[in-house]
Homo-oligomer: A and B are copies of this chain.
Amino acid sequence: MKLKTIYASLKNDLSFIESELEQTVNAHHPVLRDASNHLLKAGGKRIRPVFVLLSGKFGDYNLVLMKNVAVALELIHMASLVHDDVIDDAEMRRGKKTIKAKWDNRVAMYTGDYIFARAIELVTELKEPSANTILSNAILEMSIGEIEQIKDQFNWDQNVRDYFRRIKRKTALLIATSCELGAVAAGASKAEQRHLKQFGYYVGMSYQITDDILDYTGTVKELGKPAGGDLLQGNITLPVLYAMNQDNKKHEIMDIFSKELNTSQEKVNQVISIVKSSGGIEFSQRISDRYLQKAFNELDQLPSQSARTSLRQIAEYIGKRKH
């Protein structure tokens, strides 16, 4: 099933969110406007707003209130991408030049700060302090996750547990927060808030593992950037962690990286081959599937309705996507 088909029932609400997103970043300073709009135009799946809206369907769904949360969550995601680009020296994001590449690092950092602050401002409009607490906590944890990722770069002694903790903070938490805040904004019951949050967490884990698999298996066309980008930056993800646990693969991989003869891309290509032949891709896929299954189990605790079906379809899509 295509994402577009799943989104169909939300089509009008999502167009509204899209125009609100544009208005939000357009409201202020020209330089910021250019920078934010550039990012906005680069698109994205708007997964977080969709999770906000669908979670809101379990309570008293009011688009005017839901909008604040949906836009805020997408803004936080955008801000984290902007700051990621400053950090990763990434020249490409979603196939377009990054803000950093187009303007410069310093503007990118403050654009990120600005977008974070706009997001918080929006959620404050709910007049529900717990929503602000949840949101600021998500930003906190994301920052820690990013610092952990930096610390763990090219650290060949890390284990799978480090990886899971990192992607929880880096990705899963914001999707969990999207579901939770959607439920909070709509006044869903505490139990529903909890199940939706857990659902979002499991989907988020699966989402990031899929992302990390695609970085090994994807083409430039699918990813908007060459495969092996994570390795190139020293980000050690599940597929290679699995490979490193097989026989002497750990030393083989470390040897490749310590060789002086090869270019970085050649090193990365060699490691990709090892990971593929070791079964690291299939292993990671199994783990991703297991998280998806846990996500489905959470959905089973929620009342049966079309929003629940849509959440399930999106979760399935996420586990099988190619980009």
Binding site for B on A (CB under 8 A): 28-29, 31-32, 83, 86-87, 104-107, 109-114, 116-118, 120-121, 124-125, 127, 129, 132-133, 136-137, 139-140, 142-144, 146-148, 150-151
Contacts and interface: CB of A to CB of B under 8 A. Distances in A.
B86 A143 contact: no
A121 B147 contact: no
A144 B147 CA distance: 25
Contact of A83 (B109, B143, B151): B109
Contacts of A150: 104, 106-107, 110
Contacts of A29: 144, 147-148
A32 B117 CA distance: 21
Q: Which among A109, A114, A121, A151 has the highest number of chain B CB atoms within 10 Å?
A: A109
Nearest to A153: B106
A136 B28 CA distance: 14
Q: How many copies does the complex hold?
A: 2
26 contacts: A28-B140, A29-B147, A31-B147, A31-B148, A32-B143, A32-B147, A87-B106, A87-B109, A110-B144, A110-B146, A112-B113, A113-B113, A113-B139, A114-B139, A114-B143, A116-B139, A117-B136, A118-B136, A118-B140, A120-B120, A120-B132, A121-B137, A124-B133, A125-B133, A127-B129, A132-B132
B109 A86 contact: yes
Contacts of A113: 83, 112-113, 116, 139, 142-143, 146
A290 to B, nearest CB: 27
A60 B136 CA distance: 28
Given A29-B148, A117-B143, A136 B109 contact: no
A132 B135 CA distance: 12
A28 B129 CA distance: 22
Nearest to A28: B144
A13 to B, nearest CB: 25
Given A124-B129, A129-B129, A136-B124, A143 B31 contact: no
CB-based closest 6 A-B pairs: A114-B143, A117-B139, A121-B136, A124-B132, A120-B136, A113-B143
A114 B31 contact: no
Contacts of A146: 106, 110, 113
A143 B110 contact: yes
Contacts of A139: 113-114, 116-117, 120
